[in-house]
Amino acid sequence: MAATDYDLPQNAANFAPLSPLSFLARTAAVHPNRIAVIHGTRRTTWAQAGERCRRLASALARLGVAKGDTVAAMLPNIPEMFEAHFAVPMTGAILNALNIRLDAATIAFILQHGEARVLLTDREFSATIQAALALIPEARRPLVIDVIDPLAPPGARLGTLEYEALLATGDPAYPITPPADEWDAIALNYTSGTTGNPKGVVYHHRGAYLNATSNVLTWGMAPHPVYLWTLPMFHCNGWCFPWTITAVAGTHVCLRRVEPTAVLDAIVTHGVTHMCGAPIIANMLINVPDDAYPDFAGRTVEFMTAGAPPPAAVIAGIEQRGFHITHVYGLTEVYGPVTVCAWQDEWNDLPADRQAAIKARQGVPYHSLDGLMIADARTLAPMPKDGTTMGEVFMRGNPVMKGYLKNPAATAEAFAGGWFHTGDLGVWHADGYIELKDRSKDIIISGGENISTIEVEDVLYKHPAILEAAVVGRPDPTWGETPCAFVTLKPGTTATPEELIDFCRANLARFKVPKTVVFGPLPKTSTGKMQKYVLREKAAAL
């Protein structure tokens, strides 16, 4: 008899929807006395964390928050932001973690577009939130709940409810109920659009569960890690790590601001084992003076980095400081990282600079990602694995978003042909590892030649005087455009444009060498990515 002839339906005994909510229920029950959250002098056990999440969920439900509603959070990396990642979906609602550095007009757009019913907001951002609320018709404004963190700078109260008082009204035994359907939305994140309004990316419980567990497998995490929050929880829900660290009964070490001294102090004080962040965090730590660097007592801190591909020089530099780099890659639309440069033992015998160059590749799929390829952007024909033929990066699988909120045209375009179109350009190596070369919008075409800005930046970072570098195209009447380098020098160093151009000429093909060098601070997003559209505007105006 064929297997399809058996009548073996799903039932309560053999099937449950996948949801990261299950991680909290298990960890609070199995490890109730372990420390779950550290924030300043505050210490919260897993039993207490579970109760606080249940209380918040109960209190929100009593306010009328229900399935399909949106709860927004304008919070830094503090315990209340961690709690929202569990409490909000426990009610069936959707968490919209807001980028704390956005302007009032953008915040107002997001609150209205996402139809936020409730807003949790930290006093530090009261001026921005007050201005945003003024732009929203009164009937569409969310209910404001003030979070009063003792470590926050002064700020006005905006709502009639305060977070701790609200928790006191909640039921500590409120049930942690999984969604009826794992395809239900769990989170809403907005892309940092460079033109026009940002797009709302919708995540589901299944994808959040699978990518959270894939983080454990990818990083080889043992139980009870001590995780330092140097990555914003508002960025792709902290790459799913609020759920990941909970799954392995780890400790969340909160950090309101990412500053070198605070990061290093936390590593030493709390015995931090893991942290994440953009390459700018690594670059920041590399440049701490030797006499200010603490002793890690022989420990190595695991550092997962993504965002713009880290220059090989940055990877080599941070590993000399006592960190071990794991390089991953992803986008907002795929819950954060979904590929990793999985390390091979035979690479251990290579010179350090060669190891760093290999580690800068974006690598192979996470366990949760079913498909990854470099292909022709129009035909989706896979590119040869020769390490040189450039194409677009395509992905598919469970950790791909449900789609863009209220934007069916953009959703259809992103999923055309049954693959998610990333808009990133890269090459495929013979070993199956991918390597990003640029965003499609950032590639420089000079005299018909494609120039990878990442390749040029990688060379610039090798110069001993350069702290940060970003390369964009500058309009040129003869060549169409030429490379223009914007650089920030390390304190106490000097360099001239001519010196840097000569340095690049010695390390690059001539047509890839910057024709222009501009010194000064570089504009960045709140997650540390260079705002190249700002630099392109500056280059065009030169």
Domains of the chain with CATH codes = 44-204 (3.40.50.12780), 258-439 (3.40.50.12780), 444-541 (3.30.300.30)
Question: What pLDDT, in 10s, does the model give residues 58-76?
Answer: 999 999 999 999 999 999 9
pLDDT of residue 308 exceeding 70 = no
- What is the maximum alpha-carbon separation in the chain? 79
Residue 306, CA distances (Å) to 113, 211, 277, 329, 474 in order: 28, 15, 7, 5, 27
Nearest to 205 by CA among 289, 95, 61: 95
The DSSP call for residue 184 is S
Other C-beta atoms lying within 10 Å of the C-beta of residue 297: 8
| Host H or E run for residue 200 | strand 200-204
Q: HEC string of 297-334? A: CCCCEEEEECCCCCCHHHHHHHHCCCEEEEEEEEEHHH
Which stretch of DSSP H or E encloses residue 336? strand 336-340
Confidence of residue 194 (pLDDT cuts 50, 70, 90): very low
Residue type, position 140, single letter: R
- Rounded to whole angstroms, the Cα distance separating 464 from 335 reads 36
Q: pTM of the entire structure?
A: 0.85
Sole residue written with tokens 């009164």: 138
State the pLDDT at residue 1: 46
Output the six-digit token pair for 186.
């769990």
d(C-alpha 19, C-alpha 212), whole Å:
10
Q: Which residues of 334-355 are buried (b: 16+ CB within 10 A; e: fewer)?
A: bbbbbbbbebeeeeeeeeeeeb
Over the chain, what is the mean pLDDT? Answer: 92
Strands of 434-439's sheet in order across: 369-375, 391-397, 420-428, 434-439
Cα 255 from Cα 264, distance rounded (Å): 12
User: What pLDDT shows up at residue 242?
Assistant: 98
State the pLDDT confidence band at 412, using cuts at 50, 70 and 90: very high
Distances (CA, A) of 86 to 12, 175, 177: 23, 12, 11
Section 339-361 average pLDDT? 91
